[in-house]
Chain A
Amino acid sequence: MQFSSYSYLLFLAAAVLLFWALPVRMRRVYVLVASLLFYASWGVSLVVLPIVISTVTYGCARWMLQRPERKRAGLVAGIGFVLAVLVYFKYRVFLLSGLANLFGWSGSAIGGPLAVVLPLGISFYTFEAVSYLLDVRQGRVKEVKYVDLLLFVLFWPHLMAGPIVRVRELVPQLGFQKVFAGPMLTAGVNRIALGLVQKNVFANSLGGWVEDGFVPRLARANSTIDVWALAVAFGLQIYFDFAAYSNIAIGSAHLIGVTLPENFNYPYWAGNPSEFWARWHMTLSRWVRDYLFFPVNAKYSGRKGVLYLSLVLIMSAVGLWHGAGWGFVIWGAMHGVYLAVFRAYQSWRGLDVPGAKSGWAAGLVVRAITLVGVVAAWVPFRAASLEQTAVLLKTMFAGMDFRISYSVNFYLVTALLTLYCVAEPWLIRGLEGIEGRAKGSAAWGWGVDLVLRPVLWSLAVVLFLAFDDQDTIFIYFQF
């Protein structure tokens, strides 16, 4: 059941109704069963792996709490197991192919069937398990409960593609003690409606063109404008696609009184690379920051060269986490280089960093520079090969062909959605302003609840229905 499918929306409606009808003491088990049912809807056998990972994580975590002197061993064993599972399912082919290329082995020498089914969401729930173990190690988790851990990993709104939550954020909410209130419904439906439009109308409308434009065999035929438009279009597609998923996840959780952390904060408005990562896939960024970068930073705080190198290596690993391919690694490495250069600039100038708070003109310039870097980095992320990446990046930065090759509608839709991205903060703030005013005035309140909101929701529903012919999976489901 994709979040943007009718089956999911029916499942959600039924799950939410039943949730609020049940007594509080039964809700934990109910949500766990609903989560397993949701995941099993893709294939019943899929549920085995997250349960095994959760069980091993539970065992290691208990051991770490019971034997504090062996915490490190428990941590290494737990993380080692989880990462081994991840590597087996996600990186086996990549690693073995790399070794085969390096040593000139034939395909048969690799042995075994290479095409292992990649379990959905494995990158996300393994990260959750790792963060649970790290929190136990660092003393943030004092007590380990099996059902809590299962719910933490399997909770259906965030199971497949995040947001990547922290133990302290989710576990205290898993008592499901809240009493149903109208604003939960409003907040949930608001987010779900926005997500459905972002996915079906915005992301999917660009998807077809992006797919056509990134065909490797046509890479050399694209003009400079074509490649820039394609890279921007993909940047918009992946943003709307992932923001849609996150909005529906957050909205679904709202409907049963659970608050999940935000994942996006207008990322293309970022004024520097550091700010971009504070706005893009925010829950992954803070995971990487807290569990990877801060420990490295603490260890090598006096050695700038090592820190810059660690930034590039860590971001390359983040790229690899997205997918088993060199294109993802290059995407991560490019962002690592951007971050390292930015840190070096900060260190050199010792000034306030250029960013969103800079003056109007300076802000525009730094945003434009950041955007160019971010858009260029989408090319290796989306391209099918390193050769295609090289051709497209060369065309972008060294090409002088300014003709357009595709339907004018492609460029127009890309421009329109770019404009939407520019205006998005004001649009959302405007709507929030109206809602705020509605709280203080009965007339405004009625107007918002009985006119404005129904109009927006009904438009969202109709557009979702009208554009549901593209049965396209969420991009981040593949990671």
Chain B
Amino acid sequence: MRREFATLGICAVFAAVILHGHVFGAVAKVLTTVFGGGDEAAALKLYAQDRRTQEVSNGADPLPSLQDVVVHWASEKAERRLVVMGNSQTYAVILAPGERDPGVPVQTYVDLVGSRIGTAGKANVYRLSAPNLSYAEALWYVTYLSLVAPVKPTDLVLQLNYESFRKSGIRDGMLGLLRDPAFARAAAETARSATPFGAAFEQAIKRYRELEGKSGPTGDAKASAPAGFGEIAEVAIRKKMDAVGIGTEKHTAKAEFLNVLYLLRVHVLRITPTTPRPLAGAAYEGSVSALDEVATRCRAAGITVRLFLAPQNPGARMWRTEADRDRYRGAAQSLSSKFGLRLVDLENKVPAEQWGVWIDGPDPIHFGLKGHETMAAAMLSSGLF
């Protein structure tokens, strides 16, 4: 019997070693060494941060940032309040060949545009972005800005990106907006609509309830079942675990484990960030309907919407076939025509040598330092602002 208890003891030691020793992280490093791949140092870590002009959590917990910026807008009283919304292309830098980490906080193209417009006139540019932003998430944000925020933006400059049309759903981090009762009411109303984006809102609200421990023990019981003492104990235990740091450790372990799986996908299955993807089906339909609603809500709230087609890396096109590309461009054109929105095509504005290099070669999403400058210049000259 002693041996069985020894097994349990050794198991506890091993588990602690895996968690604290970042074993999955070490495996990821081994995979990168064995298979080769992008230099992690190429992904810059140090960025200029300003809560008045950026949603600094990048979708991880945007409510405090949005509440802050609304207060800022109210105090600044600028003539125009422009929100730029897009994916990680708007806030991340992957160094291009020959570029070096400047070692100081860098500005991305939205920052550069904002600082130039801000000094030239009475405009305030705010970057509201998130990695892999879906258009359901864009609508989630627009719902807050158009229906809830006490001071609304005057303009929305929305990035249209091939990859974003393939995304669906609303991430956990953004669910925090439901803490605002006015937003929760607006989101619930949208969730009731018989639309694809209504389904995304419905899922998000359901997930928020799960995470907050507000759901009852069964689907039928949700409305009336009180939280049992088991649930109260569970919440207390989880809080205690977070307090002693296990919460952070397990999140890190998950991220590192998923990274191992990702690297195996890239190196073993050869499904890389630059592998072309088709554009069709539910995610695409959902994106189109969400964008339609973004335009409708902005029009109702008096917010001017402008669209731009995000740059594509000439060395790493994302569409699998020309038909996929046509579907993407067609959706953008159709949205622009339907609502009379200005649409600017910046697809080829950043030359190949200014894009980052990552894992399997040219990064399909992010540009280097020079690329951001080029993009800022292109945006300023395009009339988007």
Contact = CB atoms under 8 A, between A and B. Distances in A.
Contact of B238 (A6, A120, A181, A472): A6
B7 A454 contact: yes
B166 A407 contact: yes
Contacts of A470: 210
Interface SS of chain A:
helix
B196 interface: yes
Contacts of A208: 169
B8 interface: yes
Nearest to A10: B237
Contacts of A189: 8
Interface SS of chain B:
helix
Given A44-B228, A115-B223, A407-B166, A180 B1 contact: yes
Given A42-B228, A223-B280, A449 B217 contact: no
A479 to B, nearest CB: 9
Contacts, number: 187
A43 interface: yes
A185 B5 CA distance: 9
A455 to B, nearest CB: 6
A16 to B, nearest CB: 12
Interface string A1-24: 100011110100000000000000
A293 interface: no
Contacts of B202: 215
Interface string B237-274: 11001000010001101100100000001000101000
Nearest to A324: B220
Interface stretch (B12-20, B151-159, B340-348): B12-20
A453 B5 CA distance: 12
B282 A405 contact: yes
Interface string A335-360: 00000000000000000000000000
A217 interface: yes
B271 A408 contact: yes
Contacts of A459: 18
Contacts of B271: 408, 412
Interface in B1-46: 1, 3-8, 10-15, 17-19
Contacts of B229: 40-41, 44
B226 A471 contact: no
Interface in A421-479: 449-450, 453-455, 457-459, 461-463, 465-473, 477-478
Contacts of B14: 454-455, 457-458
B73 to A, nearest CB: 34
Contact of A465 (B19, B210, B223, B281): B19
A387 interface: no
Contacts of B12: 458
A455 B229 CA distance: 34
B282 A466 contact: no
B108 to A, nearest CB: 26
Nearest to A1: B230
B282 A221 contact: yes
Contact of B1 (A182, A217, A457, A477): A182
A89 B241 CA distance: 38
Contacts of B11: 453-454, 457-458, 461
Interface string B217-229: 1111101111011
Contacts of B228: 40-44, 46
B284 A405 contact: yes
B281 to A, nearest CB: 2
B22 to A, nearest CB: 11
A272 B200 CA distance: 39
Contact of B233 (A7, A43, A454): A7
Contacts of A46: 228
B70 interface: no
Contacts of B114: none
Given A186-B4, A405-B284, 16 more contacts: A1-B234, A6-B238, A41-B228, A43-B225, A117-B221, A117-B224, A182-B4, A217-B194, A217-B195, A218-B286, A403-B281, A408-B271, A458-B13, A462-B15, A471-B210, A478-B219
28 contacts: A1-B233, A7-B230, A10-B233, A10-B237, A41-B231, A41-B233, A115-B220, A118-B221, A180-B1, A182-B1, A186-B7, A189-B8, A212-B282, A215-B203, A215-B282, A223-B280, A226-B282, A405-B283, A405-B284, A408-B271, A449-B6, A450-B3, A457-B8, A462-B250, A465-B246, A466-B254, A468-B250, A473-B215
Interface of B: 1, 3-8, 10-15, 17-19, 166-169, 172, 194-196, 198-200, 202-203, 210-211, 213, 215-221, 223-226, 228-231, 233-234, 237-238, 241, 246, 250-251, 253-254, 257, 265, 269, 271, 275, 277-278, 280-286
